[in-house]
Structure 1
Amino acid sequence: MRKFFTLFVVLIILVSLFSQVRNIIYFIGDGMGLSQAYAVSMIEGRPLSFMKTPHGGFVKTHSANSWITDSAAAGTALASGFKTNNGMINILPDGTVVPTIFEIAKAYGVKTGIIVTCRVTHATPAAFYAHVKSRNEENEIARQLVESETVDLIMGGGWANFLPKNLGGKRNDGLNLIEMAKEKGYTYITTKEELMNLPGGTNKLLALFAPSHLDPASERKEEQPMLYEMVKKAIEILSNFDEPFILMVEGSQIDWEAHDNDIYGVWKEVLEFEKAVQVALDFALQRNDTLVIVTADHETGGLGLSSGDYKIDVDKIRKFTETIDWIMENYSPKNRESFKEAIEKYFGLTLSDTDIDRIASAENSKVEFGRVMGEKVNIGWTTTSHSGIPVPVYAFGPGAENFTGFLDNTDIPRIIMRLVGYSLQYPLVKEPVMK
């Protein structure tokens, strides 16, 4: 038995010595704190895929100017290893422009990819390739994405930021960035069918499936792919080349559902995110050279998994079938009877006249509705914004043991660069590309 144990230990050591990080698949659940992940685990009645990874820790998320970060500052920290002020992307408070891990990796010949369910010019994806003083400069961010060619594979929404107004877009400068991308060798697609039929040898891809964000996971149109489908195709494409790759995948809309204090919406968005993570883990399990990291940019909503009485009514949550957004778009609390009937039909709950009056008279009826529904199932929300709660990080593959303990969000890209043998101090001289 002792000889067997010794042999096993030696084998593990040898595997670790010869397991080198070649590929990185970097998942960011926007707004996904431990409460959001664990709540979905409770509802599903099983641990989520990333909860079963052998290594994990916790991550501080504060920005340079606030204990409560926004996605731009958090994205900058996760993509460049530097703290900046809320709203800024890869430009420090003193004006210094900092390179991202994608820009550095590209300098070494690494393939890069971004997959999101929001606009590809939104704060988190932009943090991996853009440099702007304000995250709101999405037309400028789109220009930088195409002109820099930092990202080889892009999937998400937001084609309106790439087109001039006379073609249905949002640009006032007349630039047709989609045509520019084609000239630079990008294949451009707009539907799930086109994505599924793409050959594995596609070299550069710009896939924009909506003029703005993709539809929520629970309401995704047939022509828009699910996150796991995009991840599966991206891995197929990126792994078809001799070069290593870094792929960033964001579960973008977990955050938005938490902003609405919508437990059903959070459930469905985290579940979509988890399915995408499973695709990456299945790929990594077949190899010894791919590191999968799962974390979040911040927590949203201050979700509490009980509002009292030592209970949470998971069985009631499981009966929910629609998001708060969907209900408020289709029913009005001012039409009392139809609203009551809708809640009974889609949530299995009965609202009192007092509940409905409270929703109808609130300054933000949608959020108030979310809070009422939360109270019905014994969960609580402390805010409709972000919180300063540390978020989890999970890791699987070679080097995963480095993502343990209590980390800062700036540590994550620095550890990644160290594991792949690159330095964030790479002399990437870059002038600000903003106007």
Structure 2
Amino acid sequence: MKRRDFFKNGLLTTMGLGIMGSRPVLAKPSMYKGEQAKNIIFLVSDGMSSGTLNMADILMRHKMGKTSNWISLYESNTVKRSLMDTASANSFVTDSAAAGSAWGGGHRVNNGALNISPSGQEHEPILQKFKAQGKAVGCVTSVQITHATPASFCVNQTSRSAMPAIAEDYLKLKFDVMMGGGREFFDPNRRTDKRDLFTEFSKNGFHVANNKEEMSKADGSKPLLGVFTEDGLPYAIDRENDANLKKTVPSLAEMTGKCIEVLSKNPNGFVMQVEGGKVDWAAHGNDATALLYDQVDFDEAVGVAMDFALKDKNTLVIITTDHGNSNPGLFNPGPKNIKFESLYEAKASNQHILNAITPENSTSQVIDMINHQLNVALEKEEAENLLKSFQVGADGLYNPGNLPFAYFAEILSRHNGVSFAHTNHSGDYVELATYGPGSEKLPGFVKNYELHNFMLEAAGVERKW
């Protein structure tokens, strides 16, 4: 079979519509207004292993009394479910730049590159293609807006590390909505060239938002740049337990809702990417609390996207991840699940706790602190060893404070039942769920780069090579 015909030969199937198990099953003609998608919402829980998805669902069912939106879509047969291969051009195990570029540019590239092939060829990013078709486009993320996954839909760069240059690229591209963290790449006091990109964006007609209130005031009359924090946004568990953070930093669901609100003003439709980037960071840090609550945060964004799509009936929704990470799993929940249930009462990420511990802290202070924040009572020897581990050095990525993430996770696994296989990406096949016009044509197994043409064809856009 020729590759260009790959998606054209899928079986046309009848899909069920039973959202959250409470709505009737309807035939496809009642679900969508047409055969082509006017809008596309592409949601990425970055670095989400299958264990992350299922543990977050367990937590939501038993703590919050509701099924996760993602699993509800499976239960109600609302979405088409597939598996996706995630390799890059030079490895079975991809990084986020290469994985995103497979979607964004339609070709596999080497790890670290953004839409530039091993031979140096530039592949036009998908949001540039849709923008040229008259659609509104944008990205929202819980990490830096210049980070690998949002950038992979937008720019060509030889290295994902070129985030100051990526911020400049965004100014040239003038996309309609870009929101996340990463002030250091826009602030003249942090940039080595002293460029004030915030002022430059404003002079170029952007509404620039520095906090949640300023974001909420954006009415869609101007393109929107929202940069809410240095580095990535705080973990969801830390935001929800800090009144000031909750007031000033939007959740992923809130950013998603605002992005849809702004982009949907375009009569020609829109295409947007939503990234739960801190899921990946938490997996690198083996931080079970941060991981599960950021997955919940992402799941709320899924709910916002699906609510819009179900009413609109012209929107293709894609829900997936770019790769697994650290392969966490629930192995020993304890009698009557008491160990895992300690996570229900957690108030802080491991990063927050480890940053609060100092060499001056006593063993009893460490025990009290962790018991208060994580509902876990460490043994004296565990606390003593944790204090000593600060001298060993860093483990895990996104760890500028040289914190003993993996060792702390190893201790906590005895108390919460969650263990990790590693601190880095895995080569697993991953979950892929689709809803909306074109979704019935998606096969049960997909190569990551095939989603590029799938999106173009679903929206009726001619492919260009």
Inter-partner Cα distance in structure 2 for 1:9 and 1:31: 32
Inter-partner Cα distance in structure 2 for 1:106 and 1:208: 22
Tell me what 2:204 maps to.
Answer: 184
Compared with structure 1, are the counterparts of its residues 348 and 17 closer, same or farther at alpha carbon in structure 2 (3 Å cutoff)? closer
SS for the counterpart of 1:98 is coil
Tell me what 1:412 maps to.
Answer: 451
| Post-superposition offset of 1:316 | 2.6
Inter-partner Cα distance in structure 1 for 2:207 and 2:256: 17
Tell me what 1:431 maps to.
Answer: none
Inter-partner Cα distance in structure 1 for 2:53 and 2:169: 34
| Counterpart check, 1:340 vs 2:360 | no
Pick the aligned partner of 1:356 from 367, 372, 383: 383
Tell me what 1:217 maps to.
Answer: 236
Tell me what 1:75 maps to.
Answer: 100
Q: State the TM-score, normalizing by the size of structure 1.
A: 0.89
Structure 2 residue identity aligned to 1:374: S
Pick the aligned partner of 1:42 from 28, 36, 58: 58
| Post-superposition offset of 1:101 | 1.0
| Post-superposition offset of 1:277 | 1.1
Structure 2 residue identity aligned to 1:216: Y
Q: Deviations over 1:25-64 (max 9, x none)?
A: 1101111122101100011114311223321111111111
Inter-partner Cα distance in structure 2 for 1:423 and 1:160: 38
Structure 2 residue identity aligned to 1:414: N
Q: Supply the RMSD in Å over aligned alpha carbons.
A: 2.3
Structure 2 residue identity aligned to 1:266: L
Say whether the 8 Å CA contact 1:78–1:297 is kept in structure 2. no
| Counterpart check, 1:331 vs 2:357 | yes
Percent of residue pairs identical: 29
| Post-superposition offset of 1:320 | 2.2
Q: Where in structure 2 are the equivalents of 1:194-273 lying within 5 Å?
A: 194-199=214-219, 201-220=220-239, 221=245, 222-273=247-298
| Post-superposition offset of 1:307 | 5.3
Q: Deviations over 1:126-155 (max 9, x none)?
A: 111111111111111111111122x21111
Pick the aligned partner of 1:51 from 59, 63, 71: 71
Q: Deviations over 1:150-182 (max 9, x none)?
A: x21111112321233xxx22232x433233323
SS for the counterpart of 1:154 is strand
Pick the aligned partner of 1:297 from 315, 322, 342: 322
Pick the aligned partner of 1:127 from 143, 146, 152: 152
SS for the counterpart of 2:248 is coil
| Post-superposition offset of 1:415 | 0.8
Say whether the 8 Å CA contact 1:61–1:409 is kept in structure 2. yes
| Counterpart check, 1:153 vs 2:177 | yes
| Post-superposition offset of 1:19 | 4.4
Compared with structure 1, are the counterparts of its residues 332 and 414 closer, same or farther at alpha carbon in structure 2 (3 Å cutoff)? same
Inter-partner Cα distance in structure 1 for 2:31 and 2:260: 24
Mean alpha-carbon deviation: is it higher for 370-379 or for 245-254?
A: 370-379
Say whether the 8 Å CA contact 2:340–2:418 is kept in structure 1. no
Compared with structure 1, are the counterparts of its residues 110 and 341 closer, same or farther at alpha carbon in structure 2 (3 Å cutoff)? same
Inter-partner Cα distance in structure 2 for 1:304 and 1:311: 17
Say whether the 8 Å CA contact 1:289–1:398 is kept in structure 2. yes
Q: Deviations over 1:181-205 (max 9, x none)?
A: 2333222121211111222x32311
Structure 2 residue identity aligned to 1:280: A
Say whether the 8 Å CA contact 1:32–1:255 is kept in structure 2. yes
| Post-superposition offset of 1:266 | 0.8
Q: State the TM-score, normalizing by the size of structure 2.
A: 0.83
Compared with structure 1, are the counterparts of its residues 343 and 239 closer, same or farther at alpha carbon in structure 2 (3 Å cutoff)? same
Please list every run of 5 or more consecutive structure 2 residues that lacks an aligned counterpart in the other structure: 1-23, 74-78, 240-244, 395-403
| Post-superposition offset of 1:403 | 3.9
SS for the counterpart of 1:237 is helix
Tell me what 1:170 maps to.
Answer: 191
Aligned structure 1 segments of 4 or more residues deviating by more than 4 angstroms: 8-11, 13-17, 307-312
Mean alpha-carbon deviation: is it higher for 216-225 or for 79-88?
A: 216-225
SS for the counterpart of 1:99 is coil
SS for the counterpart of 1:286 is helix
Compared with structure 1, are the counterparts of its residues 10 and 196 closer, same or farther at alpha carbon in structure 2 (3 Å cutoff)? closer
Q: Deviations over 1:338-384 (max 9, x none)?
A: 11112222222222233234433443422211121123222221111
Say whether the 8 Å CA contact 1:178–1:188 is kept in structure 2. yes
SS for the counterpart of 2:255 is helix
Tell me what 1:429 maps to.
Answer: none
Please list every run of 5 or more consecutive structure 1 residues that lacks an aligned counterpart in the other structure: 1-7, 427-435
Structure 1 residue identity aligned to 2:185: N
